[in-house]
Chains A and B, each alone.
Chain A
Amino acid sequence: MIEKIKRERMLVAFTLLGFLIIAFIVVTLGNMLATQVIQDLGGLIKVTQDPVVLNSIWLSMYTAFLATLVAFIFGVPLAYILARKEFLGKSLIESIVDVPVVVPHTAAGIALYTVFMHHGGLIGAPLSSLNIVCEDAVPGIVFAMLFVSAPFLINSARDGFKSVDPRLENVARSLGASQWHTFCKISFPLAFRHILTGSILSWARAISEFGAVIFLVSWPRIAPLLMYERFESYGLSTSRPIAVLLIFICLTVFIFLRLASMRWQRHDSD
């Protein structure tokens, strides 16, 4: 045994280092969940019956879903182009896709507010003349979430399309399939696992967003904002059960979607 450890010194060191980072994540979440369940199960049960909490978690989930849906509709076609075509300015476009990931999200919040406010906002003003209000309204939440979460879906879908051999598309075309048909029957299904993973990431990112949303929409309150407000006004014991409930719901959805995506795995070459 000691002999083996000596031989594999580097791998042993890597395992230890890797263990520490995993422990950091597990301990942080586990400690909170355990403390809540052991010390204050009543508080947790109480929030599951609090309509304000449930509404705000529901709001977060469905606005995140809408943001992901919009990212999907506009992002998947872009991802396909980026995976298949070479054109002037392609790396510029790819960099722009990544910008929301690197911009501090509070700064993004201010940018979003500037564009979407209904008095004089570049997009907000014309939208409000069409009776679509973004400020302190659901569309605002969706736009803010879209901004920060779309890159995850686009990049993942692009990698997915790249992993599909263009020769498969060529063969499908030679068999009489149009470009649309080839996309729907060959490219999309084969890239689907990547696209689904990207959508899950995008959705999770949207739910967790705080900074980008609050400048534009402080009411209705998304779950992270409610948590923050409760923490500021009443302290840890009031905000923590909400956090635990939100994590529990998110993990359930996450695990369910992960399992679903594994069904496609067997067809992937990578």
Chain B
Amino acid sequence: MIAIKGVSKNWREFSLKNIDLEVRKGEYFVILGPTAAGKTLLLELIAGFYKPDHGEIWVNDKNVTRMPPEKMGIGFVYQDYSLFPHLTVKENIEFGLKLKKMPKEDVEKKLKEVMKMLDISHLSHRYPRTLSGGEQQRVAIARGIVIEPSIMLLDEPLSALDTRTQIRLREELRRVHRGAKLTTIHVTHDQTEAMALADRIGVMMDGEIVQTGTPEEIFHSPIDEGVAEFVGVENIIEGIVESSEEGATTIRINDHIIEAISSAEAGSRVRICLRPESITIAPSKTTSSARNTFSGTITQLVPLGATYRVEIDCGFPLVALITKTSMEDLGLRAGKKVCTSFKASSVHVL
């Protein structure tokens, strides 16, 4: 278990403010935040590369705040992989093993195992500069896990890779984590990556952890507008609570009434958060269990690869996501009238 207690640090252009965080044993914890939020610095503090100005770091009930990094037993993978350029793949991976003063046969055995697991055995005698990004990343992961660390720290490990390699390596990371039940902290700015890998997520903004929770909690119940925007809640609309009874709430937005589940009091000003993928689009009004149905006009269609972003004016603006096939089936285009609907439980009230 890792416990970060009130840690602050000013370093170059970054600053961490009073970070409190607990990562459970065996957990895959993702720190999600925009670039320059101080995520890497936090990892470097945990690894012991730098010392915090204030606060303490505990690992397995031991205060390790002032411990030198070589005593920590932590595997660290940087965004740019940081392979030793003057050593071959094999020499890179055995760097840590050789320091453990293990019998030579054991070193060889472990090397073989880890290289087989990450499918890099054929690269053994190559130098890092001759490898592709994906291959380099596998080597970096192998080098980190071969020393059997108690904690693995991953700093944006996938962000420099193309999408296909990203998805493949994501699977690999999950497999490695499950296999070794390794407590892992993974830093990223990519919400899809966070969603795919995390047991729990901590959202970091401007040097602070602003929210921790399961992916479900973070993506559907963001704690404030900043987090909501960052995790891709594209619909944040202001309204006034008309009535609230045992959680069933009605909220007035201009001339429209939205039903939601919330404990907000009648008369209070609120903002509703609605993820674009929670909205369904139909050519005309249909019956469904969704409590909220509005008709509107498409104002814009923005292609995003396999999906389209649909902007609709329903008397208030709404953004929805739709697959390319659905868009073609429904014959959607700007100016077309459509019917949008979403469930009361999809609406998160701030």
What A residues does B74 contact at CB under 8 A? 174
Q: Is A31 interfacial (CB-CB < 8 Å)?
A: no
Partner-binding segment picked from A89-97, A152-160, A165-173? A165-173
What B residues does A181 contact at CB under 8 A? 99
Q: Is A51 interfacial (CB-CB < 8 Å)?
A: no
What A residues does B68 contact at CB under 8 A? 173, 178-179
A85 CB to closest chain B CB (Å) equals 13
Chain B 75-92 per-residue mask, 1 if CB under 8 angstroms from chain A, else 0 = 110101010111000000
Q: Is the CB of A167 within 8 A of B80?
A: yes
Q: Is B55 interfacial (CB-CB < 8 Å)?
A: no
What A residues does B143 contact at CB under 8 A? 171, 175
Q: Is B34 interfacial (CB-CB < 8 Å)?
A: no
Checking A177, A186, A190 against B99 with a beta-carbon cut-off of 8 angstroms, the contacting residue is: A177
Most buried by B among A170, A171, A178, A269: A171
Q: Number of residue pairs across A and B with beta carbons under 8 Å? A: 68
Known contacts: A167-B78, A170-B47, A170-B76. The answer to whether A176 contacts B85 by CB under 8 A is no
Q: How far is the CA of A203 from the CA of B91 in the complex (A)?
A: 34
Q: Is A267 interfacial (CB-CB < 8 Å)?
A: yes
Q: Is A139 interfacial (CB-CB < 8 Å)?
A: no
Q: Which of A139-198 contact B (CB under 8 A)?
A: 165, 167-168, 170-179, 181, 185-186, 189-190
Q: Is the CB of B82 within 8 A of A173?
A: no
Checking A171, A178, A185 against B76 with a beta-carbon cut-off of 8 angstroms, the contacting residue is: A171
Q: Is the CB of A174 within 8 A of B99?
A: no
Q: Which of A74-132 contact B (CB under 8 A)?
A: none
Closest to B40 in A: A167
Checking A165, A177, A178, A189 against B86 with a beta-carbon cut-off of 8 angstroms, the contacting residue is: A189
Q: How far is the CA of A175 from the CA of B78 in the complex (A)?
A: 13
Known contacts: A175-B143, A176-B99, A176-B147. The answer to whether A170 contacts B69 by CB under 8 A is yes
What B residues does A174 contact at CB under 8 A? 47-49, 69-70, 72, 74-76, 144
What A residues does B44 contact at CB under 8 A? 170
What B residues does A178 contact at CB under 8 A? 68, 70
Known contacts: A174-B47, A176-B147, A181-B99. The answer to whether A168 contacts B69 by CB under 8 A is no
User: Which DSSP category, helix, strand, loop or mixed, fits chain A's interface?
Assistant: helix
What B residues does A172 contact at CB under 8 A? 84, 95
Q: Is B100 interfacial (CB-CB < 8 Å)?
A: yes
Closest to A164 in B: B85
Q: Is B96 interfacial (CB-CB < 8 Å)?
A: yes
Most buried by A among B69, B74, B84, B99: B69
Q: How far is the CA of A267 from the CA of B130 in the complex (A)?
A: 11
What A residues does B73 contact at CB under 8 A? 176
Closest to A176 in B: B99
What B residues does A171 contact at CB under 8 A? 76, 78, 82, 84, 143
What B residues does A179 contact at CB under 8 A? 68
What A residues does B95 contact at CB under 8 A? 172, 175, 177, 185
Closest to A190 in B: B86
Known contacts: A170-B49, A170-B76. The answer to whether A176 contacts B70 by CB under 8 A is yes
B339 CB to closest chain A CB (Å) equals 53
B8 CB to closest chain A CB (Å) equals 19
What A residues does B80 contact at CB under 8 A? 165, 167
Closest to A182 in B: B70
Q: Is the CB of A167 within 8 A of B96?
A: no
Q: Is the CB of B76 within 8 A of A176?
A: no
Q: How far is the CA of A57 from the CA of B182 in the complex (A)?
A: 65
Residues of B within 8 A of A (CB): 44, 47-49, 68-70, 72-76, 78, 80, 82, 84-86, 95-96, 99-100, 127, 143-144, 147
Q: Which 4 A-B pairs have the closest CB atoms?
A: A175-B96, A173-B69, A267-B86, A176-B99
